[in-house]
A and B are shown apart, each in its own frame.
Chain A
Amino acid sequence: MSHDLALVDTWASSGKSLWHRASALSKLAFVALVLGTILTTHSLPYLLALYAGLCVVVLWARVPLGAAVMLSLYPVLFSSLYLLSRWDGTWQLPALLLLRSLSSSLLAVLLVGTTPYPDLFAPIARVTPRLVGDGLFLTYRAFFGLIARADRMWIALKLRGGLSGRGLPRDFRSAGEGLGQLVVHSYDRSQRLYAIMHIRGHSGRVCGCRHWAEFGAEDLVPILCGTLLVLARFWLEAR
């Protein structure tokens, strides 16, 4: 999990493709358009074509396709129990739910893989209460402050025999002690961050990024792609 977040952040902040240069707002509109289509279609050929189309867009955005697809497989793994419980003996229903899950998760990975988090959270912060908007931004920031320490701690615990990796009760007690240290560290870090915010004249809102609404010619790319994918649905379903 922690490495996935770090990986996606690297893609978003170091990419230079057309998709990276497009504003967050146009990419959010693209996601809304395509997600709406995914949720309302029952056509398996369309969903297959859409998934293939999204893979092409991921390649176009120069996001590593293999890693992005692996990330988008998470919900399949976790939804398996629900799909098994709903299985009616036919293959259409699992295929439909599976393709919907895969497409929507790849869509989410495409969005975060091409949009740096301050740009992505800025429009969200505008429509949510302060604690939620600023909380999202600060959580992301705090996570990257914690990730290296957490990694070092897990490695140290494994090397010293604290974690056997077999899910024994002793493993969870050791993990608990390690997490306790992370809690203490996080508490101290949060106090330090508050002091820094106070010194810098914190005005009540954290996120002041305005790049999310800076429109350019690149914004036509997500809008046109989204429209094309929606039109393709009507064309395929009309045949």
Chain B
Amino acid sequence: MTHLHIADGVLPVWLWLSGLAIAALCAGVASYLHRHDRADRLTLLASLCAVMLAAMSVPIGPLGHLSFAPMVGILLGPGLGFLAALLVNGTLALLGHGGLTVVGLNTCVLGAATMSARPAYMLLRRGLAPGRAGALAAIAALLFSVAALCVVIALANRAGAPGAALDPEHDLPGGVATGRFVLLSSPFWVIAIAAEALVTSSVLSFLARVRPELLP
């Protein structure tokens, strides 16, 4: 629920092109920084992306599902975490689950959560147990992701709807549309963030018990 599932043709062309450019740049930098990693990092990245796709089968109410992004971010770190967001969104786009052109923006929004989760977790881990630190890190990471989503929507609304050419007189002012979107989405965000924090805390407590060497 915290990441975009808006399809093709809804956002202005310049916005999704910018999203693709930013995602390509971040993916390029992440790939460069991890170019000397052993191949087992690649297989781990792929395996955790697969878990992320499996976790998306867990529903949160009628319109949402788990994203597992903070948990994958904590386990992989910012660089590989961003690549995980790109791989998952690429796979989803090919299923018609979110548009092909908005893969870049989807990746930036989901990547905001995967990239920020590990630093937040490491900071909180100094004084808290893994479960609690993970829950708080998940909340922080998802709030960051929601903020990124709001920026995307505000930019889209500022430019006017792509179909506004049909009837320019009826096009809504950008601020009103963004306010409406935030108002309509807030209840879902609160529920999704709470659910994600519970799941992250539960996974981290479980891993701390059975395989502590997997935790950062």
What string of 1s and 0s marks CB contacts (under 8 Å) between B122-152 and chain A? 0000000000000000000000000000000
| Cβ of B132 to closest chain A Cβ, rounded Å | 14
Q: By the criterion CB–CB under 8 Å, are A96 and B30 in contact?
A: no
Q: By the criterion CB–CB under 8 Å, are B48 and A78 in contact?
A: no
Known: A104-B8, A167-B60, A179-B71. A39 touches B101 (CB 8 A): yes
Main secondary structure of the interface of B (DSSP, over half): helix
Main secondary structure of the interface of A (DSSP, over half): helix
Q: By the criterion CB–CB under 8 Å, are B58 and A93 in contact?
A: no
Q: By the criterion CB–CB under 8 Å, are A176 and B200 in contact?
A: yes
| Cβ of B82 to closest chain A Cβ, rounded Å | 10
Tell me, in angstroms, the Cα distance from A51 to B205 when the chains sit together: 49
What string of 1s and 0s marks CB contacts (under 8 Å) between B89-132 and chain A? 01101111111110000000000000000000000000000000
List chain A residues, Cβ under 8 A from B97: 1, 4, 71, 74-75, 105
| Cβ of A5 to closest chain B Cβ, rounded Å | 7
Q: By the criterion CB–CB under 8 Å, are B206 and A180 in contact?
A: yes
B interface bracket (residues with beta carbon within 8 Å of A): 35 or more
List chain B residues, Cβ under 8 A from A180: 202-203, 206-207, 210
Q: By the criterion CB–CB under 8 Å, are B10 and A72 in contact?
A: no
Q: Which residues of B contact A (CB under 8 A)?
A: 5-10, 13, 27-28, 30-32, 34-35, 38-40, 42-51, 53-61, 63, 65-66, 68, 71, 75, 80, 83, 86-88, 90-91, 93-101, 153, 157, 161-167, 170-172, 177-178, 180-181, 184-185, 188, 191, 194-195, 198-203, 206-207, 210-211, 214
Known: A131-B45, A167-B60, A179-B71. 4 other contacts (CB 8 A): A74-B96, A87-B172, A93-B163, A146-B51
